[in-house]
Amino acid sequence: MAARNIPYVRLNAEDFGMANIELRFPSVFDSTITIGDKRISIDSIRGVWLRRLTRPKADQIQNAEARVFAESEMDFTLRWLIDLLSNYCLILDCETKILDGRNKFDQLAIAEKLGFHIPDTIVTNDPASAKEFVELHETAVIKSVGGYGQQVEGGFYTVYTNIVTKQIFDRFDTICLAPVCLQEYIEKAFELRVTIVGQQVFGCRIDSQVAEQTRVDWRHYDHKTPHSIYVIDERLRGQMIAMMRHYGIRLASFDLVATPDGRIIFLEMNPATQFFWIEELTGMPIADAIIDEILSEFPKQ
C-alpha cells in the first residue's frame, strides 16, 4: 500500500478497544473510526481486507465479569461494523463466507462435483472403522479435522499430517474421544499451492519430495525447499474459480498434489490464506493483486 501511495490503516482485532468508534444513524456517512491519530469517515473507506478476525481484548479491566462484558460488546461492535461496511465497499472476504469456505467436508463434496480427483477419505470416531480403513490402503495418513493450532510461547503450534504407523494404529482406541480424518496416502511427484485473487491465479510448485522432512507434509518446509512458478491450465483454473464462486469468496489458496502419473489431486481450499512466503520465494505479485481486488469496486453511495 505504502509503495503505491495508497492511504491505509491497519487495525488489529484484539486491539479494537483502543479505537474510537462513532456510528450514527440514519446519517451513517457521518460515522467515524479513529485509530491512533487517524480519523476515518465511513464514506472514505473504499475497501477492507479482513486478514484475521479475532476477539477483542480488554485486559486492562481487572473485574472478570466486567472484562467479559466489555469484550463481548466490542466483539459484536467490530463484527457488525464490518457487516455494515459491506453495504458500501468491498470486503475481502466477509467472515460468514470465510467460515462457510473452511468446511473441509463440504469442500471435498463440492470438489468431487466439480470434477477434481480427491483422496479416499473417512472422518470417524469409531476405532473399528478407522482400523478397517487403514487396512484397506497400502499407506494412510492421519490429520486433524479442523486444522488444530494454537499460539504458544515462542511461536505457533500445529498438528501436521502424519503417516499412520503401527504406533499410531495401536492407539486408535482413543479415537472415540475425538474424531479424526484419515486419507489414503497419495504418491507425489510435487505439490502445488495455488493462490487465487479474484480472477488472478498464482501457481506455485513445491518440490516437497526432495527432502525427507517435507515428503508427507510440505508445511515442514524451510527456504531451501524449492518453490517455483507453475502455469495452471485452463481446466484446473476453471475448477478452482468455480469452487470459490460457490462460496462467494475472492481470496483463497488451494493445496494440490501432482502424482507421478500426471493426475492433480485436490486436498483442500484455504480462504483468507497465507501467501507472503510464496511471494517472497517466487516473486509473484500476490499482494499487488490483493490491493487491486480491494480497490476494484468503489463505495456504493
Q: What is the pLDDT of residue 300?
A: 44
| pLDDT tens track for 56-108 | 999 999 999 999 999 999 999 999 999 999 998 999 999 999 999 999 999 99
Mean pLDDT, range 15-37, rounded to an integer: 92
Mean per-residue pLDDT over the chain, rounded:
89
Q: In whole angstroms, how far apart are CA 266 and each of 91, 103, 174, 181?
A: 27, 14, 29, 15
Task: Lowest mean pLDDT of 204-208, 225-229, 293-297, name the range.
Answer: 293-297
Q: Where are the alpha helices (DSSP H) in 56-116?
A: 64-85, 95-101, 104-113
Cα-based angle 274, 239, 278 (whole degrees, multiple of 5): 25
Q: What is the pLDDT of residue 154?
A: 56
Identify the CATH number of the domain defined by range 93-117+187-301.
3.30.470.20
Q: Judging by DSSP bridges, how do beta strands 90-92 and 47-49 pair with one another?
A: parallel
By the 10 Å C-beta count (0-12 exposed, 13-18 middle, 19+ buried), 262 is classed as exposed
Q: Which CATH superfamily is domain 120-185 in?
A: ATP-grasp fold, A domain (3.30.1490.20)
Instruction: Name the residue among 4, 101, 13 with its Cα closest to residue 50.
Output: 13
Q: What is the pLDDT of residue 225?
A: 84
Q: What is the pLDDT of residue 163?
A: 87
Determine what percent of the chain is predicted with pLDDT higher than 90: 72
Task: Lowest mean pLDDT of 71-75, 115-119, 213-217, 241-245, name the range.
Answer: 213-217
Residues 6 or more apart whose Cβ sits within 8 Å of residue 70: 17, 58, 61
Mean pLDDT, range 30-38, rounded to an integer: 92
Select the more confidently predicted residue: 131 or 159: 131
Q: What is the pLDDT of residue 222?
A: 61
Reported confidence tier of residue 156, pLDDT bands at 50, 70, 90: very low
Reported confidence tier of residue 301, pLDDT bands at 50, 70, 90: very low
Take residue 99 and report the three cell numbers written for it. Answer: 467460515
**pLDDT of 39 above 70:** yes
**pLDDT of 52 above 90:** no
Task: Lowest mean pLDDT of 47-61, 91-105, 213-227, name the range.
Answer: 213-227
Residues 6 or more apart whose Cβ sits within 8 Å of residue 2: 8
pTM attached to this predicted model: 0.87
The full set of domain ranges for the chain reads 2-88, 93-117+187-301, 120-185
**pLDDT of 125 above 70:** yes
Mean pLDDT, range 233-238, rounded to an integer: 97
